[in-house]
Amino acid sequence: MKRLATTWLGIRAALALACNAAVLHVPAATITPAIPSAARPQPLSAIHLTSGPVKNAQDLDAKYLLALEPDRLLASPLLAQDAAPYKGKPKNHDKNQQLAARAYEGNLKKYAHDHNILVLPGLVADKAMKRVEMMVERTAVGPNAPCEFTIIAETSDHAYEALLISFAKPSDVHRALQFIGTEPGESFDPGSLRFWAKGESFVLSIVKTNEPPLRLEELLVDQRTGKSLREEGFMFTGSRREPALNDPQQQVYAADEYQPKSIVSLFNSTYSVLEVPYSAPKEVVYQNTTVNPEHELPEGSLLTLLIEPVNKDDSKRVKDLVLHVQAGAIPTNQTATDVERLTSLSLQLKDSETVLNGKPTLISVIETLAALDRKKHDYYLTVRFGDSVDLGQAQALARILSSIDSEKGIRIDPPPAGQIYYRAFTPDQQLLDREARLYHPWELSLAENDGQIAGKLLLIDSVWKQGAAASELEITELPVSGPQNLRRELDAEIERAKKAGKRAKAPAILVFAPSNLQYGQLTKFLGSVLPTHKMVHVYLDIPLPSIPKKRP
C-alpha cells in the first residue's frame, strides 16, 4: 500500500500533464539541396558505429564472447556432439547422482501409504505442509562469475552460467507445485501482449543442518546495486509446451527437452518452470547478475532446496482486477482537451463482481489502486473498453495507464479477446519515419462516411535495385472496404512471401484514424486480423505519411 501511495503525487502530476498537453507529431519537411551531392565510396576504416541499437548489440556480443571460457570456443566438433553436456558436470556428480537415486527409492518406501506426499525422482512434495524439497548440486561456476539461471535440469548444457543443478526434471517440479495446490500462471510473452509474468510466488531456500535457511536471492549479486537480489521470491509460470524434437506431432514440456532446460530463470522466459517476479530482460540480466562470494557453496556439494509459498496463510498473491471504461458526453469538435475526455468517462474498477471505486471517475480509481495491500498481493489489471468510447478518450486514458503500469503500480494484462492493447494508443512516433525504421509494418488509414468505415492499406517494402547506392521504398496502395477484405489482403501477402521464399511481413499494423471514431468501430474493422496481428499502433488525427515519388 505504502509503495503505491508514495507514487500518488507522481501519478497526479502525470495526469495533469496528460490532460493539459496533447503533442501532435508531424514529420519534418524534406529539404532539397540546390546542388545534388555525389556519393563517394569510403574505406571500412572510416566507418564507425555511434551510440544506438546496432552499436549496443555489437557491444553485447563482444561482452558475451569475452566472458566465455576459451575451451568452449576451441571445443572440437567431436566434443560438441558428445552426449554428455561439455564441461557440464561438477565434481562428485556421479556420487551425487547415486545418492539422489537411493533417496528416491527410500522415499518411495517411506511414504508409500501417505496420500499427502508425492515422491518423484529428485524431490518430495508435501501437500499438508505446502512445501517441496528438491535435491540439487552446486555447479562449478565460481564467485563473481555471471549467472543467468539459479537452477537447471541435470541434462542442461548451461551449467557454465547456472548456480545449481537439479536431480528432478522440470516437468516433475511443475507437477509437484500443482500437487501442493498451486496452478501455473502465465509467462512473460510479448508476442501475446503479456509484458508481465503472472503467477503465485515462492520462497526458495537452501537448507543446511543446524543453520537457518539461506534464500537463493542471497547467493546472487546485482552488479548495478552491489547488493544481493531483491527477496521477492520466484513466480510459478510454468514452461510452455512445444512439439517434440524427435516427433513434431507430439507435444512435450519444453523445459524438459529444449535447452537451456531451466527450472528457475533469472530473466523472463517462456521456457522455465519459475522465473523472477519482475521485469528482467535477458540482455539486462546477463553480466549484471553474478555469484555472491560471501556465500560460498563448494563445487559439487549435494544440497536440499526448499520451495514454500510466499504467503504462509494459504491466501493467493495474484489478484485480478477489471477496469470497465464507458463513454460519456464530450464536446463534438476535435479540439476537446484530454481533461474533457477523461472527465467524461465512466469508470468501474472491479474485483470479481465487487465495484471497488466509490465514484465512477479516474481520480477515484487511482485512489482505490493506491490503497491496495501490495505487501500481500500482486495486482493485475484488465482494461475493458466499451464500444461507444471514442478513440480520443481511449488515448487520453492510455496515457494515464502507462504511467502506473509498473512493478510499483499496477501490472496491466493483455486485452480481452477482440480488443486492442491499451498501449496501442500511445504509439511509437519514430515508426512514422519510413526511412529510419528497421522494419515496415502495414499502414492502414481509416475514415468514416455515413456511418460506414472504409480504409486504405499500404504494403511497404525496401527494394535494392541493381547498381543503386541505397534502397528504395516500394509502396502498394490497396483499398479495403471491410474486415474480410482486410483479412484477404494480409493473407494474400503471406502467401506471396511464402511462394517467393521470403520472410513474412511483421505482424504489426499502424492505424491512422480520426479521434472521434468509436472504439467499437475500430475493433470491428480490425476484428478479423487481431488474432494474428496483435501489435497495433494507433495514430489519431495524423494524416497517413505521403507516398514519395519514384526515383527515375
Q: How far apart are CA 206 and CA 345, in angstroms?
A: 51
Top pLDDT among 462 and 525 is at 525
Q: How many CA atoms lie within 13 A of 165 on its CB side?
A: 29
Residues contacting residue 500 through CB under 8 Å, at least 6 positions apart: none
Q: At what angle do helices 391-404 and 8-20 cross, to 10 degrees?
A: 150
pTM score, whole prediction? 0.81
Q: How far apart are CA 146 and CA 161, in angstroms?
A: 6
- pLDDT higher than threshold 70 for residue 49: no
Query: What are the tens digits of pLDDT across the range 150-194?
Result: 999 999 999 999 999 999 999 999 999 999 999 999 999 999 999
- pLDDT higher than threshold 50 for residue 84: no
The closest alpha carbon to 152, from 299, 5, 264, 17, belongs to 264
Sign of the dihedral defined by the CA atoms of residues 165, 169, 170, 172, in that order: negative
C-alpha cell at 388: 461507444
Mean per-residue pLDDT, 63-67 = 55
Mean per-residue pLDDT, 356-367 = 96
Averaged confidence pLDDT in the chain: 86
- pLDDT higher than threshold 60 for residue 70: no
Residues contacting residue 145 through CB under 8 Å, at least 6 positions apart: 290, 291
- pLDDT higher than threshold 50 for residue 16: no
Helix, strand, or coil (residue 364): helix
Q: How many CB atoms lie within 10 A of CB 370?
A: 20
C-alpha cell at 271: 521456457
